[in-house]
Chain A
């Protein structure tokens, strides 16, 4: 993995400036999803209690994680599922490959799994001669585009129908002039069907792993996970250890929250409980840590493990909607990305926590009540303490700190600022900060007298010291 710092603000600027179409549509489409979420959530009188309950269940599970993971693994084995343990991404990928190799698998279909994205599994397997086909439509679009997913639920949301029509025309031979969504979806369905039939193995992720039963739950809207699992003789599921919930009945809380938060529908089209291999087939699960137990030990950030990957924080985030997910240069983008990514690489993702207006909307939509905005501020503190503040900020704040510390310096700076603004012509603003303000916004005018001056004159009081 490269450790070059991701310049998220720069990338976002490019996303906005590329044309008048992409950012506008991206913002509007995701805003519409947020509005649909509000509508379905408001139809549930106990919505806020559900969020609290979900948060408590997750907190309980995470604080007893060792017990639940072992319970889950035991019960899964009793069901004839083969359980593997991976502590790192490399472990995960190696185990997957070994299972595939021992079954002479050459063709693999897979549904969406953010954990497999985290592990960069696809390129790993492709390098070793496995043909891998993403079966989730959005993931397939991203695979054909040679890009990472830009959203954890809607991986190709940054692309327009026209982009996709062009891509499909090139890659699967559709009519480049037809941009109709139904036509394009149908074309991809026809292209994908034979791949399901040919595949010697299928892979899924899991939305939830139920400790008391040893079964796991996969939610999709396309049924692609189910189709893959129903056909192939080998099913491998990658499961992050934070996916545990204690009981089946907990699904009554999480399923009600997940799809409503994610896309504004009552439930995903398919909610499948996998409880063991079909006759004559094999089922493997890879319980993967990949940084999770490290994060569990971080006092300020452990609760980010409650995340159920609904993407609601991304849909509501005004900054994410204008930036596009690829700008974050990471598996996870948007608010959840800002608080997860730095725990993998503090250097590479040091600028992410600053890519936020701290409006706090993410915290309020999160179905498991993760204090996302607070954690963004805490990551800023980490970066600041480790001298990883973006240079511009470091300079600006060193100076600002001094100015606010001493009243008299503050008064002088005010006067100097006033002078500079008055006499500098608009086009030649003397400092870079003001320049960044002034390109797209008029500068406010400094008043002729400060409030303090006015007060001294009009309320006739002498300064105390």
Chain B
């Protein structure tokens, strides 16, 4: 199995520990991982804003870097969702199509491809709320969404369920958007910040110590709001929990 590690730009610069945790975790699980060194960004921030011309260049580079691998794994739901569903500013060659199909978010890869559930060798003794991003839920079906009637599932929680000492808590509005939304966070500052504030207050009401997520971009926003309010809540990526660090 040829696996490439996709470290989105903001994780590279702001959250290298998440990248390290992801790499170490995969290696520990016996996966051989390559890290293509010329990667930058999947083009999501551009595509989301409707800027197809600029997105195309980023997308072309993405495919050049990642073609030929069996799986491309990235610890970031929204970026993976973009690659899978919206990498369409360029011509859809077979390379492009297979890169799109083979790109997985980390939780998906662990849950669906490696079919792992039992992380009982990991200890994390905290009150934890899981935050699955909107892209992860509604774009990647990482968890069932509350709007749709029918079976319920949550792959992120399934991986955490057997972690020793970890107490999973559900907040009042578990899958309400936290207001990050990429550039929306700055172009619509007031609404975005209010949504973030409502989200962290929901954690606070439930005595949450750690928010665990497969998506750092939401956490960057939530943590920013929480710190501004001087709340003691910690925000970590699921790779950091399952790899027992680095924090």
Contact = CB atoms under 8 A, between A and B. Distances in A.
Contact of B195 (A9, A319, A398, A404): A319
A355 interface: yes
A131 to B, nearest CB: 39
Interface in B101-132: none
Q: What DSSP secondary structure best describes chain B's contact surface?
A: helix
A444 B146 CA distance: 30
A451 B53 CA distance: 28
A47 interface: yes
Interface string A100-122: 00000000000000000000000
A318 B195 contact: yes
Interface in B183-202: 183-198
Contact of B194 (A322, A390, A402, A464): A322
B124 to A, nearest CB: 22
A459 B36 CA distance: 12
Interface stretch (A176-184, A202-210, A410-418): A410-418
A380 B183 CA distance: 13
Contact of B57 (A355, A392, A405, A443): A405
Given A9-B190, A359-B134, A401 B223 contact: no
A364 B224 contact: no
Given A48-B150, A393-B49, A410 B41 contact: yes
Given A397-B51, A451-B19, A358 B189 contact: no
Nearest to A366: B147
A401 B86 CA distance: 16
Interface residues on B, range: 35 or more
Interface in A352-410: 353-361, 363-365, 373, 377, 379-385, 389-390, 392-393, 396-398, 400-405, 407, 410
Interface residues of A, number: 83
Contacts, number: 221
Interface centre among B146, B184, B190 (most CB of A within 10 A): B190
Contact of B173 (A31, A410, A442, A463): A31
Interface of A: 9, 12-13, 16-17, 23, 27, 31, 38, 41-42, 44, 47-48, 316, 318-319, 322-323, 353-361, 363-365, 373, 377, 379-385, 389-390, 392-393, 396-398, 400-405, 407, 410, 414, 417-418, 433, 436-437, 439-447, 449-456, 459, 461, 463-465
5 contacts: A354-B184, A364-B138, A392-B187, A433-B186, A444-B223
